[in-house]
């Protein structure tokens, strides 16, 4: 059976009798684990695996490169919480997937990479390059070991701190006889360490002013976390990948995700807190507004499942545990009556201060040509109205990402997907294809710059072939504008950041996509495209404001430069 845009279709029966091989055992294992898609770029060393995929119930998605395929697996996993699976050849294929593997490791994304075994005649072993950026490199040798290795790799990708796992599959083992795999039991319910729920509940009950700091690890218990925030009258902050766990329209949410502003106001809030409960997030510079969040270690309770669990300084309570299991138990363990915490009016005051800081940072933003309201804030407000609450926004890396993170409100978990920590250009379009295939019922919008479109724009061919209904928004300014602004700050001159942008309309028509230039009030164009169920490419012309053409002020450019060094992690 093979798959097209509409799913499986019947294939004529082969004249040869299919035999049970290592490759078919691998594919059967993936099916038994609930995998539905494999992003595979064909090659000699994985011919047997491709034959196994052909005769399986798995949908094979062929990208334009291994890099694109790995990013598709990331988008698939980020949007769904399931393991994204990709298949590549060893050598150049595995090397080309390295940025995606690093992105998955830094952003805690479960990805399983199937590749051929290393050639003993090769001058070097690429495994030495892969090991630092994956959780594990598994190397089964016999056909009867392949299924167990795939099962183990899938489990490792999800267990503890999620991340990428590579399984090397020897060609001779893929072609050798092996038993088919029966359906498998689901993962066992995580067990919480003794006394953890009582210890955390005791601290929450004793605290008067609680801050919840939410990361991606809390995505699967959004309802319970929101109830927890209301129960203890907490203030809610999130990392980039944790945005939407509590809707940013909620009165207790203080959505700040741009290191160029907000730290001073949030530090005043944190100074008033007697407990910061961090759920499913790690602490590094990108996870703390560029390292500027001041969290008292003695007031911190940090819960994460990661094997490389980190905390801020010493003191407080550090718990290695499954976050969803702990949150569910915690909600049941707390008293039913809400305790006195931050009032809604107090949090509204903090939100007003943050909005003022956001407005000051926005002074260094470009304008969107031809728009009735040419500000990025106006555009992202229109996009928020046009995109349903559970719709997904994917971005690439660049100034457009910073603008989206600053102005777009996120209302559900797993609906803002950005390359948060490694910041790979070229991520956006293939990740959006993966997200669209993970759940075809949810609309997916991808925002890319003209630079990122130059890197991965040909994945439009994959989107067309797979029938992915995407709305692709291209911010086109003919520059690598974020780097340009950093150059202006540091050197007073720009160099190497101007390029010839692709003809977006011609590219869209070449692949069979509908093209529109956005002007006037963008809401109607956005809403029509998102609701069309088609592949549409929208172009937005981006230009300097008069203030930017004059160079602005050093202070404002410095804030923008800090934005470009990254944001919250996980």
Question: Which residues pair with residue 416 across a beta bridge?
Answer: 393
Q: What is the mean pLDDT of residues 102-123?
A: 87
d(CA 347, CA 294): 18
Q: What is the mean pLDDT of residues 148-163?
A: 95
Neighbours of 311 (CB within 10 A): 19
**What tokens appear for 550 in the block?**
């004059």
What pLDDT is stored for residue 128 in this prediction? 84
Same domain for 156 and 216? no
What pLDDT is stored for residue 286 in this prediction? 62
Band of pLDDT at residue 552, cut at 50, 70 and 90? low
Residue range of the domain that includes 391: 366-544
Q: How many domains does the chain have?
A: 3
* pLDDT exceeds 70 at position 311: no
Same domain for 166 and 31? yes
**End-of-domain residue from the set 354, 380, 405:** 354
Same domain for 133 and 216? no
Cβ-based neighbours of 28, under 8 Å, separated by 6 or more: 56, 147, 180, 181
334 within a domain of the structure (yes/no):
yes
295-309 pLDDT per residue, tens: 888 899 999 987 554
Band of pLDDT at residue 432, cut at 50, 70 and 90? very high
Same domain for 54 and 169? yes
381 within a domain of the structure (yes/no):
yes
Backbone dihedral angles phi then psi of residue 328, each to the nearest 5 degrees: -60, -45
Same domain for 70 and 159? yes
* pLDDT exceeds 50 at position 459: yes
What pLDDT is stored for residue 420 in this prediction? 87
CATH code for position 471: 3.40.50.970
SS (H, E, C) 511-568: HCCEEEECCECHHHHHHHHHCCCCCEEEEEEEECCHHHHCCCCHHHHHHHHHHCCCCC
What pLDDT is stored for residue 198 in this prediction? 92
What pLDDT is stored for residue 324 in this prediction? 95
Neighbours of 194 (CB within 10 A): 8
Whether 394 and 433 have beta carbons less than 8 Å apart is answered as no
Backbone dihedral angles phi then psi of residue 488, each to the nearest 5 degrees: -60, -40
* pLDDT exceeds 60 at position 477: yes
Band of pLDDT at residue 179, cut at 50, 70 and 90? confident
SS3 at position 327? helix
d(CA 127, CA 108): 20
Q: What is the mean pLDDT of residues 424-449?
A: 96
Band of pLDDT at residue 148, cut at 50, 70 and 90? very high
483 within a domain of the structure (yes/no):
yes
Q: What is the mean pLDDT of residues 329-358?
A: 87
Q: What is the mean pLDDT of residues 110-130?
A: 83
Q: What is the mean pLDDT of residues 354-378?
A: 89
What pLDDT is stored for residue 360 in this prediction? 78
Write the DSSP symbol of residue 339. Answer: P
Same domain for 284 and 251? yes
Q: What is the mean pLDDT of residues 416-428?
A: 92
Q: What is the mean pLDDT of residues 461-470?
A: 96
Band of pLDDT at residue 546, cut at 50, 70 and 90? confident
Say if strands 444-449 and 470-476 run parallel, antiparallel, or are unpaired. Answer: parallel
439 within a domain of the structure (yes/no):
yes
231 within a domain of the structure (yes/no):
yes
Band of pLDDT at residue 287, cut at 50, 70 and 90? low
* pLDDT exceeds 80 at position 70: yes
Share of the chain above pLDDT 70, in %: 86
């Amino acid at each position: 059976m093979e798959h097209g845009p509409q799913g499986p279709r019947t294939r004529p029966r082969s004249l040869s009798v299919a035999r049970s091989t290592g490759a078919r055992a691998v594919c059967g294992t993936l099916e038994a684990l609930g995998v539905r898609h494999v992003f595979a770029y064909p090659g000699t060393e994985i011919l047997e695996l491709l034959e196994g995929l052909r005769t399986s119930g798995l949908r094979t998605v062929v990208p334009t490169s291994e890099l694109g395929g790995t990013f598709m697996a990331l988008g698939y996993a980020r949007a769904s919480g399931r393991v994204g699976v990709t298949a590549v050849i060893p050598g150049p294929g595995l090397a080309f997937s390295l940025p995606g593997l690093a992105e998955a490791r830094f952003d805690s994304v479960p990805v399983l990479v199937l590749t051929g075994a290393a050639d003993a005649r090769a001058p070097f072993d690429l495994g030495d390059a892969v090991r630092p950026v994956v959780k594990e490199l598994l190397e089964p040798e016999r056909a009867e070991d392949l299924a167990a290795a795939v099962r183990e790799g899938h489990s490792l990708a999800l267990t503890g701190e999620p991340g990428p796992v590579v399984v090397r599959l020897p060609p001779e083992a893929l072609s050798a006889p092996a038993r088919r795999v029966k359906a498998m039991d689901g993962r066992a319910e995580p067990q919480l360490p003794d006394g953890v729920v009582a210890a955390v509940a005791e601290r929450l009950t004793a605290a008067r002013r609680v801050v919840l700091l939410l990361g991606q690890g809390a995505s699967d218990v959004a309802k319970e976390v929101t109830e927890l925030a209301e129960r203890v009258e907490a203030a809610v902050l999130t990392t980039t990948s944790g945005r939407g766990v509590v809707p940013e329209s909620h009165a207790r949410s203080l959505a700040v995700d741009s290191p160029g502003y907000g730290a001073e106001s949030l530090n005043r809030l944190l100074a008033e807190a007697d407990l910061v409960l961090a759920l499913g997030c790690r602490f590094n510079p990108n996870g703390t507004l560029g390292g500027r969040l001041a969290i008292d270690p003695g007031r911190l309770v940090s819960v994460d499942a990661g094997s490389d669990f980190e905390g801020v300084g010493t003191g407080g309570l550090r718990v290695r545990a499954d976050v969803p299991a702990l949150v569910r138990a915690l909600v049941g363990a707390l008293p039913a009556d809400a305790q006195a915490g931050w009032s809604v009016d107090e949090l509204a005051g903090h939100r007003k201060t943050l909005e003022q800081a956001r407005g000051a940072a926005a002074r260094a933003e470009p304008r969107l040509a031809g728009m009735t309201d040419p500000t990025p804030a106006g555009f992202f407000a229109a996009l928020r109205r046009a995109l349903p609450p559970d719709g997904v926004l994917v971005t690439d890396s660049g100034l457009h990402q910073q603008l989206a993170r600053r102005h777009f409100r996120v209302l559900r978990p797993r609906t803002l997907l950005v390359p948060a920590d490694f910041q790979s250009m070229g991520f956006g379009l293939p990740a959006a294809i993966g997200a669209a295939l993970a759940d075809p019922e949810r609309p997916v919008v991808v925002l890319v710059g003209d630079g990122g479109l130059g890197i991965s724009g040909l994945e439009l061919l994959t989107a067309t072939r797979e029938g992915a209904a995407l709305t692709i928004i291209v911010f086109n300014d003919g520059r690598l504008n974020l780097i340009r602004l950093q150059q202006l700050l540091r050197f007073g001159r720009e160099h190497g950041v101007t390029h010839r942008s692709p003809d977006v309309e011609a590219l869209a028509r070449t692949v069979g996509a509908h093209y529109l230039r956005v002007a006037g009030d963008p809401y109607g164009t956005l809403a029509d495209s998102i609701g069309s169920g088609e592949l549409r490419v929208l172009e937005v012309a981006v230009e300097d404001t008069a203030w930017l053409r004059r160079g602005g002020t050093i202070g404002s450019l410095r804030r923008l430069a800090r934005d470009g060094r990254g944001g919250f992690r996980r």
